[in-house]
Structure 1
């Protein structure tokens, strides 16, 4: 079967939407988890800020028992 439809195929127009780039596997996978990249960056920034800025204020569990 050819990539391009036959000129005499009566269903060619009706099946053309299947070859549109919006319905490709890559586009479907990219839209699978919307906002996931932004969430990962925001969470990483939060964890980094918590570790850098909150270093001196936390005591370890071992220090509290002695």
Structure 2
């Protein structure tokens, strides 16, 4: 008699229905990245604005 079990004996019948939970779209990183759409573009635009304003008004006093 073999000590190994038949792999079909412990097969999960719900595996196909639960597979979506492990899909990369539902990972923590993907969920966080999609939580704030446009945040990256806004951050770059604001940083560019602040740097440009500081460079243009560097020599002027208020």
Query: TM-score range, shorter-chain basis?
Result: 0.5 to 0.7
2:46 aligned with 1:46, yes or no?
Answer: no
2:35 aligned with 1:32, yes or no?
Answer: yes
Unaligned runs of at least 5 residues, structure 1: 1-5, 60-66
For residue 19 of structure 1, report the CA deviation from its aligned partner: 0.8
**Moved runs in structure 1, 4+ residues, more than 6 A?**
none
Report the Cα distance in structure 2 between the residues aligned to 1:19 and 1:58, rounded to whole angstroms. Answer: 58
- Count the aligned residue pairs: 54
Instruction: State the TM-score, normalized to the length of structure 1.
Output: 0.63
Instruction: State the TM-score, normalized to the length of structure 2.
Output: 0.66
Matched residue, 2:25: 22
